Structure 1
Amino acid sequence: MSMKDLENSDLTDIKSTPFGYTLSIIGGKWKMIIMFWLVEYEVLRYGELKRCIGQISDKILNNQLKELEKDGIIIRKEYPQIPPRVEYRLSKRGLSLMPILEEVCKWGEVNKI
């Protein structure tokens, strides 16, 4: 977004900006953590993902996964077997966010106190 675009936009409605849209997709406490583990392992089952993350409730993890799937960031694949087996992976769209997350990590390395 250029300065001219900023001058002509309603900054009180951050959701309508590209920045706000991006934050709506990856914002929150858990979404980037979920994406981090999925890029590390490529494919994870629900229980594996929960163990990687640590202290997250089933309700929150389920909600975050549903939102990421709805936004096209992850792919959920369910296998018709008993017990049910579900795997998660990043979609192409999700993988396109990885350079951004890598930059966030680099910033953390340089600025960690």
Structure 2
Amino acid sequence: MPKIPHESFTCAAGCTVEATLTLIGGKWKGVILYRLLTENVLRFNELRRLLPNITQRMLTNQLRELERDGLIARHVYAEVPPKVEYRLTDYGQTLALVIFALKAWGDAHVRQANTETRPA
């Protein structure tokens, strides 16, 4: 059964963590935000190349949700073929510390997991 997110976050301690995870949670949003933090501006197909395991439909949906939540901006250039670029908004930039902290923790986790699974 899918989890239904809260519509407002006026609840007990920890609820703000849920609010944050609602915005950046899932398999791809954090990675998309990280790529936009490190690359600054990316076109749709550049994101597809950087995330080879994501489907076009999933990437489109994740980008739409991030745009709807005000974390990224989409700029469409009036040319043929259409050129679309994505970048973090100022609001999205405020997640930099969170995203880089997740990356640092993930790097440490992968190192530890690799150390524990290596034969002695």
2:40 — aligned with what?
42
| Aligned-pair CA distance for 1:109 | 3.1
The runs of 5 or more residues in structure 2 that have no matched partner are 10-14, 114-120
Aligned position for 1:86 = 84
Please name the residue that 2:16 is paired with: 18
SS of residue in 1 equivalent to 2:86? strand
Task: Give the unaligned 5+ runs of structure 1.
Answer: 1-12
1:39-58 deviations in Å (ceiling 9; x for gaps): 11100000001100111111
- Indicate the residue corresponding to 1:10 in structure 2: none
Q: What is the TM-score with the length of structure 1 in the denominator?
A: 0.83
Query: For 2:65 and 2:5, how far apart are their aligned partners in 1?
Result: 20
Asked if the contact 2:5/2:22 (under 8 Å) is kept, the reply is no
In structure 2, the residue matched to 1:72 is: 70
Secondary structure at 1:77's aligned position in 2?
Answer: strand
Match of 2:100 in 1: 102
- Residues 46 and 104 of structure 1, relative CA distance in 2, 3 Å threshold: same
Q: Distance in 2 between matches of 1:109 and 1:41?
A: 19
Given the superposition, is the C-alpha separation of residues 111 and 56 from structure 1 closer, same or farther in structure 2, using an over 3 Å criterion? closer
Whole-Å separation in 2 of the counterparts to 1:111 and 1:29: 17
The CA distance in 2 between the partners of 1:84 and 1:14, in whole Å, is: 35
- Report how many residues are paired: 101
Among all aligned residue pairs of Structure 1 and Structure 2, give the percentage whose two residues are the same amino acid. Answer: 40
Instruction: Give the Cα separation in 1 of the matches to 2:61 and 2:40.
Output: 20
Change (3 A) 1:56 1:109: closer
Aligned CA RMSD, in angstroms, stands at 1.5
What TM-score does the superposition give when structure 2 sets the normalisation length?
Answer: 0.78
Question: 2:93 and 2:20 mapped to 1: Cα distance?
Answer: 14
